[in-house]
Amino acid sequence: MKFLIELREQGRANDLAALLEYIPYARFLGLCVHQLGDEIITELPAAPHLTGNPNLPAVHGGVVGAMLEMTAILKLLHDTDCERLPKTVDVSFNYLRPVRADHSTYGRATVTRQGRRVANVRCDLWQAERAKTVATSHGHFVLAPLVADEPGPARET
């Protein structure tokens, strides 16, 4: 992931908005990120191309799942120094209410457990009211921490 190295060299390692620009699907969705201290809030603005069920209208379930997963990854990148994007081991989604296509959707992730190589993350999405969760996820991610320049055996990439 050369873009992580580029951002680090530019002194923008924690610029999550710049990171999203390197992810084509995030750009297609229109995903935004807001940093409020240590809290990372993702925002998916309402857009017609995200509609999965025009009768409600509701956002496509795959878009909801992608937002949950990207929210978790952005939180991990903010909290850790990784040389690559965290890789998803597994993730489970809970769709609690229809995600209305005519409202913006917001997401927040919490790292519930983190080791050197693996992290567990829980995410919640909401729309008009933060207390009314529309979807949640719980996932496990493999981390690739930065390694200091030390003599020793070569690492596999």
Contact 95, 61 (CB under 8 A): yes
| DSSP annotation of 144 | -
Confidence of residue 149 (pLDDT cuts 50, 70, 90): very low
Enter the DSSP assignment of 104: -
pTM across the whole model: 0.84
For the chain, domain boundaries: 2-142
Q: Enter the tokens of residue 51.
A: 């509609």
In this structure, whether the domain defined by 2-142 belongs to CATH 3.40.1280.10 is answered with no
Q: Is the pLDDT confidence value at 63 over 80?
A: yes
Q: Using an 8 Å Cβ cutoff, are 140 and 123 in contact?
A: no
Q: Is 83 a residue whose pLDDT tops 50?
A: yes
Residue 93 or residue 24, greater confidence: 93
